[in-house]
């Protein structure tokens, strides 16, 4: 059990430093006793004779802060702004730290919203309103984030459940965005109902093989949104599709060098655990954790195979190869001089930096040629090439075919197949 006196002392210390550093009032809300440690905003007493309504607002906002990952920003009944963060003790919110009130609206706008009963009361209210600090609304988010960090420190640790809640909310938001995109996409590019985008699985497999967690998570979110969309909200169909994804994770991780025994153990456990989930949201959170475990195993394998520096460089390249990436930029990302990095990269990868980047770009261009009807000039740009003629030249060097011929052999026959070459035609 955590020492309650130690927790209170840490909270008071955090509140004191935060108030002095920001010049913003702070108070401590006891969630069990439902009381504040200091007298709060005078407006409540002046206008209602009680702090009950404000107390209910603060209590409710504190519960939302716990739910939404450790921070919540809100207006009180009198249009003054507060932000609050929970203090977690032994897994439960015992206290909350409240910062405010501050002005973000014009004082006259605030006063106009207040029912004034007499001239005397009006003067008292104006005095109370003018005593609160004015704050630029753009600073509020940063101040609320700092308060969240302080509240985590007072608990004696950065509460993992709050951080997890923030990640879950972000993931759910991204999945919702993808689902909305699917619903509104142009029919020409929208997969037919019931059609599953196999090409996305190829991208996901490749990301996992290289331990590229960021890309893998993004593609997994897209696939989950498609699973939700085509499964007709049927939980059993979703579970079947999710288990297919886990099988893909497993194969890709093994191909990426992860221990086959470790992967089999995770896969076996997944078969048991999936039956416990009764919602799509729960499965999505669980699947994100499984993906993290697989990519961690691949991370360790790649670090062993290529060395820590080169494996970090490869992951950096794979995240940025469709941008204006350079050898110097990549060397800086792994804290090496460009000359030494170039030497080590060539030795380990048996290919130059520029050729490695171009191969990744051509592989991506091949996927676009197979799965979209984008014009060639657009594909060149999306793949990281500024110049279509150079794109065509490199494409032919790598594949022995021009982009247009490659697309035709893959089965696409769009109207715009015009190619630009430096010399002659392909």
User: If you average pLDDT over every residue of the chain, what do you get?
Assistant: 79
Q: What is the mean pLDDT of residues 232-254?
A: 85
Task: Give per-residue pLDDT as tens, 71-87.
Answer: 888 888 777 889 999 99
Per-residue pLDDT at 192:
43
Percent of the chain with pLDDT over 90: 21
366 vs 179: which has the higher pLDDT = 366
5 vs 325: which has the higher pLDDT = 325
CB within 8 Å of 140: residues ≥ 6 apart: 73, 81, 83, 102, 104
- Assess contact for 291 and 217: CB atoms under 8 A: yes
Q: 183 pLDDT exceeds 80?
A: no
Distance CA 261, CA 246 (A): 15
Distance CA 170, CA 175 (A): 9
CA distances to 205, 246, 262, 303 from 257, in Å: 13, 17, 11, 10
Q: What is the mean pLDDT of residues 146-173?
A: 67
What are 317's two structure tokens? 């390249």
Helix (H, G, I), strand (E, B) or coil at 102: strand
Cα torsion at 271, 273, 276, 277 (round to 10°)? Answer: -90
Packing angle of the helix pair 280-306, 260-273 (nearest 10 deg)? 180
Tokens 């991780």: give the residue. 253
Distance CA 290, CA 65 (A): 27
35 vs 29: which has the higher pLDDT = 29
- Assess contact for 56 and 48: CB atoms under 8 A: no
Per-residue pLDDT at 391:
93
Task: Give per-residue pLDDT as tens, 261-317.
Answer: 888 888 888 888 888 888 877 888 888 888 888 888 887 777 676 777 788 888 889
Helix (H, G, I), strand (E, B) or coil at 97: strand
27 vs 185: which has the higher pLDDT = 27
Strand ranges (E), 235-303: none
Task: Give per-residue pLDDT as tens, 114-140.
Answer: 555 556 666 776 677 777 888 887 788
Q: Which helix (H) or strand (E) holds 92?
A: strand 92-102
């Amino acid at each position: 059990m955590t020492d309650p006196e130690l927790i209170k002392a840490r909270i008071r210390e955090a509140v004191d430093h935060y108030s002095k550093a920001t010049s913003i009032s702070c108070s401590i809300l006891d969630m069990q006793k439902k009381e504040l440690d200091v007298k709060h905003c005078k407006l409540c007493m002046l206008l209602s004779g009680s702090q009950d309504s404000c107390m209910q607002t603060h209590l409710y906002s504190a519960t939302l802060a716990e739910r939404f990952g450790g921070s919540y920003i809100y207006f009180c009944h009198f249009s003054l702004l507060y932000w609050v963060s929970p203090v977690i003790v032994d897994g439960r919110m015992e206290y909350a730290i409240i910062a405010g009130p501050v002005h973000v609206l014009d004082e006259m706008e605030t006063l106009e919203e207040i029912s004034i009963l007499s001239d005397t009361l009006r003067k008292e209210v104006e005095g109370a309103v003018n005593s609160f600090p004015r704050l630029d609304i753009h600073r509020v988010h940063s101040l609320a984030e700092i308060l969240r960090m302080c509240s985590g420190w007072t608990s004696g640790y950065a509460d993992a459940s709050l951080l997890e809640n923030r990640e879950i909310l972000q993931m759910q938001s991204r999945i919702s965005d993808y689902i909305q995109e699917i619903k509104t996409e142009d029919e020409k590019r929208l997969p037919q109902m019931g059609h599953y985008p196999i090409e996305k699985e190829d991208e996901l497999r490749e990301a996992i093989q290289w331990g590229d967690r960021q890309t893998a998570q993004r593609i997994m979110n897209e696939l989950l949104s498609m699973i939700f969309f085509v499964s007709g909200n049927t939980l059993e169909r979703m579970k079947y599709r999710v288990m297919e994804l886990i099988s893909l994770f497993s194969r890709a991780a093994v191909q990426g060098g992860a221990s086959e025994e470790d992967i089999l153990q995770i896969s076996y456990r997944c078969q048991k655990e999936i039956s416990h989930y009764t919602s799509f949201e729960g499965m999505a959170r669980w699947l994100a954790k499984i993906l993290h475990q697989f990519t961690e195993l691949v991370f360790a394998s790649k670090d062993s195979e290529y060395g820590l520096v080169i494996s970090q460089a490869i992951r950096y390249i794979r995240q940025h190869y469709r941008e204006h990436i350079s050898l110097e930029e990549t060397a800086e990302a792994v804290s090496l001089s460009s000359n030494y990095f170039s030497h080590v990269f060539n030795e380990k990868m048996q290919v130059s930096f520029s050729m490695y980047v171009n191969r990744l770009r051509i592989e991506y261009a091949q996927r676009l040629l197979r799965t979209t009807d984008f014009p060639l000039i657009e594909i060149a740009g999306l793949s990281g090439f500024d110049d279509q003629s150079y794109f065509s030249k490199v494409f032919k060097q790598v594949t022995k075919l021009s982009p247009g011929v490659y697309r035709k052999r893959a089965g696409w026959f769009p109207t715009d197949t015009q190619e630009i070459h430096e010399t002659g035609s392909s």
